[in-house]
Amino acid sequence: MTQLDTGPDGEACDADERAKDFDEGPHGRTVLVTGGAGFIGSHLARALVEENEVRILDDLTTGSVDAVPDDATPIEGDVTDRATVEEAMAGVDIVFHQAAVVSVDESVADPPRSHRVNVDGTLTVLEAAREAGARVVLASSAAVYGDPGTLPVTIDEPMTPRSPYGADKAAVDAYAHAYDATYGIPVVALRYFNVYGPGQRGPYSGVIEAFVQRALAGEPLTIHGDGEQTRDFVHVSDVVKANLAAATTEHTGTAYNVGTGESVTVTDLAAIVREEAGTDADVRHESARTGDVRHSRAATGRARDRLGFEARVPLREGIADLIGVRVETSQPSGSAEQAPQRPADHGDV
């Protein structure tokens, strides 16, 4: 259900310290992070735990209990199980709903399972939050846009998802608005673009992680298609800051893009990784993947104006830090199947 995070605590320190510099998050609250043993969820939990009572709900299908902060309370369970969610939600002020099937390919292979976890699981969380009177911050995705008609893509862009995963997240967005409007529960949906950073693992961990692993191993970097497709890569510490801002904003019942507002071609991304890794590893091209979005870049004005959020970590700096962590902690950098270069592969949700 949640995204794998097997990195040691030390690997996430720099990213977590960046997030702690943002002081607009909740304080003295009881919070629940679903998927909190996963990639984004565990970073978020570490940013929250010093000032709040934090509970983690995760079924550990792909998440790791080692990623849960020591001061957080772990609860092993499934977000589709109403009794489990209601128990975890008891007395909670804010829930950050990060748990999901995040793989586009898995959603294509098994749409009913993807829908059950992503949509039914979200409804279960929303219902439990309604009973508990809790604020909800939902993880959505740029996958809701499909191939946008204009760039940068604004929140008002029609949702035309190209995958079951994207359709799931479009439904999540719609329910966020509906529950806020109908029941008066403060709900915010955050549409993540391509998230990267320390602690990202697994076959669907994203193109940056795959490039870094291969570059450090001296293996060829594989690009699907001509490499001219563009993506908006946002560092996990910035995604955490967006969540913290969403937890306190008065502007609820809507969605916000979480990206940098800048894009890079996958060819240029490979060049940056090779330069920062100090490798002359080859770059090879394979056939484009079915359903890949051609271009993606977030319009960030609404998040800036209403949440006070702007991404701060430049792409090259984030990649350099990630490579430094890999080298310093001697993380295995063996062969890894590279993930699709899709906005949906945000690694966290």
165 is catalytic: yes
What's the number of CA atoms in the CB half-sphere (13 Å) around residue 109? 6
Ordered domains of the chain (ranges, CATH): 9-195+234-258 (3.40.50.720)
For residue 22, the model assigns a pLDDT of: 52
Q: Are 146 and 103 in contact (CB under 8 A)?
A: no
Annotated catalytic residue: which of 165, 192, 196, 204? 165
Could you tell me the pLDDT band of residue 330, with boundaries at 50, 70 and 90? Answer: low
For residue 286, the model assigns a pLDDT of: 94
Closest CA to 244 of 16, 38, 88: 16
For residue 12, the model assigns a pLDDT of: 45
For residue 202, the model assigns a pLDDT of: 66
Sorted by sequence, the CB contacts under 8 Å of residue 102 that are 6+ apart come out as: 3, 165, 204, 344, 345, 346, 347, 348, 349
Cα separations in angstroms, 240 against 82, 174, 182, 309, 348: 27, 22, 28, 10, 11
For residue 105, the model assigns a pLDDT of: 86
Could you tell me the pLDDT band of residue 18, with boundaries at 50, 70 and 90? Answer: low
Q: What is the mean pLDDT of residues 12-25?
A: 59
pLDDT at 331 over 60: no
Cα separations in angstroms, 68 against 133, 145, 192, 286: 25, 32, 22, 37
* Strand 53-58 to 221-224 pairing: unpaired
pLDDT at 293 over 90: no
* Strand 230-231 to 264-265 pairing: antiparallel
Q: What is the mean pLDDT of residues 305-334?
A: 87
Q: What is the mean pLDDT of residues 310-325?
A: 96
Query: pLDDT exceeding 70 applies to what percent of the chain?
Result: 86
Tens digit of pLDDT for each residue in 230-276? 999 999 999 999 999 999 999 999 999 999 999 999 999 999 999 99
For residue 155, the model assigns a pLDDT of: 96
pLDDT at 348 over 80: no
The whole-chain average pLDDT of the chain stands at: 89
The helix/strand/coil state of 112 is helix
Q: Per DSSP, which regions of the chain are E strands? A: 30-34, 53-58, 73-76, 94-97, 135-141, 187-192, 194-196, 221-224, 230-231, 233-235, 254-258, 264-265, 283-286
Q: Are 193 and 145 in contact (CB under 8 A)?
A: no
pLDDT at 337 over 70: no
The alpha carbon of residue 75 and the mean position of all alpha carbons in its chain are separated, in whole angstroms, by: 21
Rounded to an integer, what distance in angstroms lies between the CA atom of residue 10 and that of residue 7?
A: 8
Q: What is the mean pLDDT of residues 292-304?
A: 94
pLDDT at 172 over 60: yes
Q: Are 214 and 221 in contact (CB under 8 A)?
A: yes
Tens digit of pLDDT for each residue in 182-219? 999 999 999 999 999 998 876 656 899 999 999 999 99
Instruction: Determine if the peptide bond prior to 198 is cis (ω within 30°).
Output: no
Q: Are 45 and 69 in contact (CB under 8 A)?
A: yes
Q: Are 140 and 255 in contact (CB under 8 A)?
A: yes
| 254, 42, 109, 162 alpha-carbon torsion, rounded to 10° | 30
pLDDT at 143 over 50: yes
Length of the chain: 349
Q: What is the mean pLDDT of residues 301-314?
A: 98
pLDDT at 4 over 90: no
For residue 62, the model assigns a pLDDT of: 83
For residue 205, the model assigns a pLDDT of: 66
For residue 3, the model assigns a pLDDT of: 34
